[in-house]
A and B are shown apart, each in its own frame.
Chain A
Amino acid sequence: MLWILVLALPFPYIANTAGWITAELGRQPWLVYGLMRTAAGYSKLVSAGNGMFTLLGFMGMYMVLGILFLFLVRREIEQGPVAEVSTGH
């Protein structure tokens, strides 16, 4: 039945992300509750183009890192547990 634990692998990530989404979506439309709205809080001089460029940059970088992470974790799992070296005492 231990294989169920393997299926549970994505749950911490889902829980973490769900928590953040709740917090960041739940706060809308307030940036500072009752005092400042998100629409009033953006940097006036940073153009939308700059914002889009950096957003896509971050998304791309995180996607590459995510794929790399999945690849490396899969390799680790495939290799299995490292055999215990007996220290002989």
Chain B
Amino acid sequence: MEERRFSAALRAQVDAGFSPCGAQPSHGDVNEESTMETLWFMIVAVMVAAYVVLDGFDLGAGAIYLSAGKTTDDRRKILRAIGPVWDGNEVWLLAAGGTLYFAFPLLYASSFSGFYLPLMMVLWLLMLRGIGIELRAHMENPVWIGFFDLIFCVSSALLAIFLGAALGNVVRGVPLGVDGYFFEPLWTNFRVGADTGILDWYTVLTGVIALVTLTAHGSLYIAVKTDGDLNRRTRNIAMRAWPLQLILTIVALIATCYVQPSVLDNYKQHASGYLIPVLVFGSLGTMIYAIRKQRDKLAFVASALYIVGMLVGAAFALYPVVLPASTDPVHRSLTIYNTAAGRHGLTVGLTWWVFGMILALGYFTLLFRMFRGKVRLEGEGY
């Protein structure tokens, strides 16, 4: 019976020209109980955070690859550090995107159309990153190796910037139309106002802070996985990135409040939200303490917690909006209420999500335990 209502609603949507707010079956009223939608909002946020923490260190390792990897052996060590895990880490992006598609299909439809070109560029950069890693060692030719080294490094760094800019776009809001759709050009005038592009000063700022954060995160991971010169060099990179990270965090927080004043509303209503900035600055403090004391694992965990804090903070600020509208924030914003899938589907999905997550967590635990310890250069491999 749920299926028939859904297909009738689908036909109505097709006839009405995809109007997400108009043709929805009537559930998800703000006053109605919305635990399922809220739960899935949190699940998507957690999966995005998992992706950034995991693939973040692969991207960071790529970003520092050319500067920290002075010798061929160094570069091989960096590749061996991320080698067994980078592919699985990248899959969390697909898992997060898939969960987004499943739980909030109209948000997926609107945002993936609106961000079409940057998403395609992200896709190509992901391909290039993988190609850079895997094809590198297939020929003993220095031109070949140097070429793929460059591709790996540049695509990793660009990915970090793009992902940061994407988050900036979501927080700043996009010019949504009445039907819930939008299309943003790559840039307009770099100002944040009525007519925004993908890149403006705010999203460039979030892109830069993402690059700095992931560079530090990746450096700390390489420091954990290596010893000797490389360990010392990557710890130095993280140490020098830290003041920049601190300043940019504060600047980004101020800029966010300026660009999207409503981000503070949830914090004012629920004081427990203030634990999140405590987590963010606490992890920053722990990071520099651990770097100074040469406790690499603690520094890496602190960096991961910093990333989690920043992302959870953004999610907490946005809730229940998933994509703010810069054109008409009150009426046109996409929220969990007007984009969520049907209640029955969400419930069934939750059961399968739990199974899937148990499998995924089990597999990742096995994987990281299997490859624990410092990397060695003997044997087959990169």
Contact = CB atoms under 8 A, between A and B. Distances in A.
A45 B138 contact: no
Nearest to A42: B113
A50 B14 contact: no
A17 interface: no
Given A45-B113, A68-B135, A72-B138, A54 B181 contact: no
Size class of the B contact interface (CB-based, 8 Å)? 20 to 34
A89 interface: no
Q: Tell me whether chain B's interface is mostly helix, strand or loop, or mixed.
A: helix
Interface of A: 32, 35-36, 40, 43-47, 50, 53-54, 57, 61, 65, 68, 72, 75
Nearest to A43: B113
A32 B114 CA distance: 23
Contacts of A36: 10, 14
A50 B138 CA distance: 35
A19 to B, nearest CB: 22
A66 to B, nearest CB: 12
Contact of A43 (B17, B116, B138): B116
A44 B17 CA distance: 9
A35 B10 contact: yes
B109 to A, nearest CB: 8
B127 interface: yes
Nearest to B131: A65
A32 B181 CA distance: 21
Interface string B13-41: 01001100000000000000000000000
Contacts of A68: 135
Contacts of A61: 124, 127
Nearest to A41: B14
B7 interface: yes
A50 B10 contact: no
B264 interface: no
A75 B11 CA distance: 54
Contacts of B109: 43
A43 B181 CA distance: 9
B306 to A, nearest CB: 35
A44 B181 contact: yes
Contacts of B201: none
A45 B111 CA distance: 11
Contact of B116 (A35, A46, A72): A46
A53 to B, nearest CB: 8
A72 B114 CA distance: 38
A40 B14 contact: yes
A57 B120 contact: yes
A44 B19 CA distance: 12
B7 A50 contact: no
Given A35-B7, A65-B131, A45 B181 contact: yes
9 contacts: A35-B7, A36-B14, A40-B14, A45-B181, A45-B183, A46-B183, A50-B116, A54-B120, A61-B124
A61 B14 CA distance: 34
B117 interface: yes
B182 interface: yes
A75 B135 CA distance: 13
A58 B18 CA distance: 28
A35 B181 contact: no
Contacts of A57: 120, 124
A73 B304 CA distance: 40
A35 B120 contact: no
Given A36-B14, A54-B116, A72-B135, 4 more contacts: A36-B10, A46-B113, A47-B183, A75-B138
